[in-house]
Structure 1
Amino acid sequence: MRSIQSLVHDAFSRRRTAVIVLALLLTALVPAAVDRLAQASLTLLALSGGLLVVAVVALMMRGGATGMVGNDPDSPVSNRGGVNLLLYLSPVIFLNIVFPLVSPRMAEATVGGVQLTYVVLASSITVPWLAQAACMPAYRAIGGLMAERDMEQITRRFCQVWPAMFIQTLPLVGLFAVPLWLATGWSAQAMGTYLVLCGAHVLFVQSLVLANVGERRGLWALAWGAYALALAAAPTLWILPPVLAAATQIAPMGKHLAHARSFERLGHRSFAGDVIRGLLLGAVLWADKFVLFLVTDGTFQVVVVFMAMLPAVLAYNFYFVNLAPHVDRAVAGLHRAIEREPLPVLASHSTLLSHIVDRAVLRTAAIGMVLTLAATMLLGGLQPEHVLLAVSVSVASWTFMMLTLLSYELDYIGEKIAAQVLSAVHLLVCVLAFTALGTNGAYGVLLLADLMLVAVAWGLYKRHWVQPEYTLFWRHATSW
Structure 2
Amino acid sequence: MTSLQSILYDSFTRHRTIVIVVALVLTAFVPLADTLLPTGWSYALLALGVMGVMIALLALARPGTATAGGDRVSHGSGARPGAGLLLYLSPVILLNLVYPLVSPAMAAVEVGGVQLTLIVLASSITVPWLAQAACLPAYRAIGDLMAARDMSAITRRFCATWPAMFVQALPLVIVFAVPLWLATRWSFTALATYAALCALHLLFVQSLVLANVGDRRGLWALAWLAYALALFAAPTMWWLPPLLGALTQIAAMGRGLSAVVLAQRLGARDFSTDLVRGLLMGAVLWADKFLLFLVTDGNFHVVIVFISMLPAVVAYNYYFVNLAPRVDKAVASLHRTIAEEPLTVLATRSKRLSRTVDRAILSTGAVGMVLTLVIALLLEGLQPVHVLLAVAVGVASWSFMILTLLSYELDYIGEKLIPQVLGGLHLALCVAAFVLIGVTQTAGGGAVAYGALVVADLVLVGVAWTLYKRHWTQPEYTLFWRHATSW
Task: State the TM bucket, normalised to the shorter chain.
Answer: over 0.9
Counterpart of 1:216 in structure 2 is 216
Counterpart of 2:443 in structure 1 is none
Structure 1: how far apart are the matches of 2:210 and 2:74? Answer: 27
Counterpart of 2:457 in structure 1 is 450
**1:72 maps to 2:66:** no
Q: Residue 407 of structure 1: CA displacement?
A: 0.3
Q: Residue 441 of structure 1: CA displacement?
A: 1.8
| Counterpart among 452, 460, 466 of residue 467 in structure 2 | 460
Contact 1:64 1:323 in 2 (8 A): no
Q: Residue 46 of structure 1: CA displacement?
A: 2.4
Q: CA, structure 1 residues 457+190, in 2 after alignment: closer, same or farther (shift >3 Å)?
A: same
Q: Which residues of structure 2 form unaligned runs of 5+?
A: 440-445
Alignment of 1:388-427 (within 5 A): 388-427=388-427
Structure 2: how far apart are the matches of 1:285 and 1:321? Answer: 18
CA-to-partner distance for each residue in 1:315-372, whole Å, 9 max, x for gaps? Answer: 0000000000000011011111111101001111111111111110110011111011
RMSD across aligned positions (CA) = 1.9
Structure 1: how far apart are the matches of 2:67 and 2:19? Answer: 19
Contact 2:319 2:360 in 1 (8 A): yes
Q: Given residue 454 of structure 1, which amino acid in structure 2 is its aligned partner?
A: V
Sequence identity percentage: 65
Q: Residue 75 of structure 1: CA displacement?
A: 8.7
- The DSSP-based 3-state class of the residue aligned with 1:470 is helix
Q: Residue 34 of structure 1: CA displacement?
A: 3.1
Q: Residue 42 of structure 1: CA displacement?
A: 2.1
Structure 1: how far apart are the matches of 2:265 and 2:39? Answer: 61
Structure 2: how far apart are the matches of 1:83 and 1:311? Answer: 18
Q: Residue 474 of structure 1: CA displacement?
A: 4.5
Counterpart of 2:203 in structure 1 is 203
Structure 2: how far apart are the matches of 1:126 and 1:50? Answer: 32
Q: Residue 12 of structure 1: CA displacement?
A: 0.6
Structure 1: how far apart are the matches of 2:42 and 2:71? Answer: 36
Q: Residue 9 of structure 1: CA displacement?
A: 1.3
Q: Given residue 316 of structure 1, which amino acid in structure 2 is its aligned partner?
A: Y
Q: Given residue 478 of structure 2, which amino acid in structure 1 is its aligned partner?
A: T
Contact 1:308 1:372 in 2 (8 A): yes
Q: CA, structure 1 residues 476+152, in 2 after alignment: closer, same or farther (shift >3 Å)?
A: farther
Counterpart of 2:346 in structure 1 is 346
Structure 1: how far apart are the matches of 2:221 and 2:482? Answer: 35
CA-to-partner distance for each residue in 1:17-37, whole Å, 9 max, x for gaps? Answer: 111110011001101103455
Contact 1:389 1:440 in 2 (8 A): yes
Q: CA, structure 1 residues 64+167, in 2 after alignment: closer, same or farther (shift >3 Å)?
A: farther
Structure 2: how far apart are the matches of 1:405 and 1:163? Answer: 30
Q: Residue 79 of structure 1: CA displacement?
A: 6.8
Counterpart of 1:469 in structure 2 is 476
Q: Given residue 298 of structure 2, which amino acid in structure 1 is its aligned partner?
A: G
- The DSSP-based 3-state class of the residue aligned with 1:147 is coil
TM-score normalised over the length of structure 1: 0.96
Counterpart of 2:442 in structure 1 is none
Structure 2: how far apart are the matches of 1:64 and 1:171? Answer: 43
Alignment of 1:357-368 (within 5 A): 357-368=357-368
Structure 2: how far apart are the matches of 1:224 and 1:181? Answer: 29
Counterpart of 1:178 in structure 2 is 178
- The DSSP-based 3-state class of the residue aligned with 2:299 is coil
Q: Given residue 117 of structure 2, which amino acid in structure 1 is its aligned partner?
A: T
Counterpart of 1:257 in structure 2 is 257
Counterpart of 2:190 in structure 1 is 190
Contact 1:65 1:322 in 2 (8 A): no
- The DSSP-based 3-state class of the residue aligned with 1:265 is coil
Q: Residue 427 of structure 1: CA displacement?
A: 0.3
**1:113 maps to 2:133:** no
CA-to-partner distance for each residue in 1:96-136, whole Å, 9 max, x for gaps? Answer: 00001111111111111111000000000000000000101
Counterpart of 2:315 in structure 1 is 315
Counterpart of 2:373 in structure 1 is 373
Q: Given residue 117 of structure 1, which amino acid in structure 2 is its aligned partner?
A: T
Contact 1:17 1:362 in 2 (8 A): yes
Contact 2:125 2:289 in 1 (8 A): yes
Q: Given residue 394 of structure 1, which amino acid in structure 2 is its aligned partner?
A: G
Q: Given residue 8 of structure 1, which amino acid in structure 2 is its aligned partner?
A: L
Alignment of 1:101-250 (within 5 A): 101-250=101-250
Structure 1: how far apart are the matches of 2:73 and 2:53? Answer: 20
Q: Given residue 346 of structure 1, which amino acid in structure 2 is its aligned partner?
A: L
Q: Residue 74 of structure 1: CA displacement?
A: 7.0
Alignment of 1:55-94 (within 5 A): 55-64=55-64, 71-73=69-71, 80-94=80-94
Structure 2: how far apart are the matches of 1:144 and 1:76? Answer: 23
Name which of structure 1's ranges 436-445 and 294-303 shifts more when overlaid on structure 2. Answer: 436-445
TM-score normalised over the length of structure 2: 0.95
Q: CA, structure 1 residues 357+282, in 2 after alignment: closer, same or farther (shift >3 Å)?
A: same
Q: Residue 47 of structure 1: CA displacement?
A: 3.1
Q: Residue 43 of structure 1: CA displacement?
A: 3.4
Name which of structure 1's ranges 57-66 and 133-142 shifts more when overlaid on structure 2. Answer: 57-66
Q: CA, structure 1 residues 183+214, in 2 after alignment: closer, same or farther (shift >3 Å)?
A: same
Contact 2:59 2:65 in 1 (8 A): no
Q: Given residue 369 of structure 1, which amino acid in structure 2 is its aligned partner?
A: M
Q: CA, structure 1 residues 262+105, in 2 after alignment: closer, same or farther (shift >3 Å)?
A: closer
Q: Given residue 235 of structure 1, which amino acid in structure 2 is its aligned partner?
A: P
Q: Given residue 21 of structure 1, which amino acid in structure 2 is its aligned partner?
A: V
Q: Residue 63 of structure 1: CA displacement?
A: 2.6
- The DSSP-based 3-state class of the residue aligned with 2:260 is helix
- The DSSP-based 3-state class of the residue aligned with 1:7 is helix
Structure 2: how far apart are the matches of 1:24 and 1:372? Answer: 8
Counterpart of 1:287 in structure 2 is 287
- The DSSP-based 3-state class of the residue aligned with 1:261 is coil
CA-to-partner distance for each residue in 1:221-272, whole Å, 9 max, x for gaps? Answer: 0000000000000000000000000000000111211211253100010000
How many residues align structurally?
A: 478
CA-to-partner distance for each residue in 1:29-54, whole Å, 9 max, x for gaps? Answer: 10110345577432332232132122
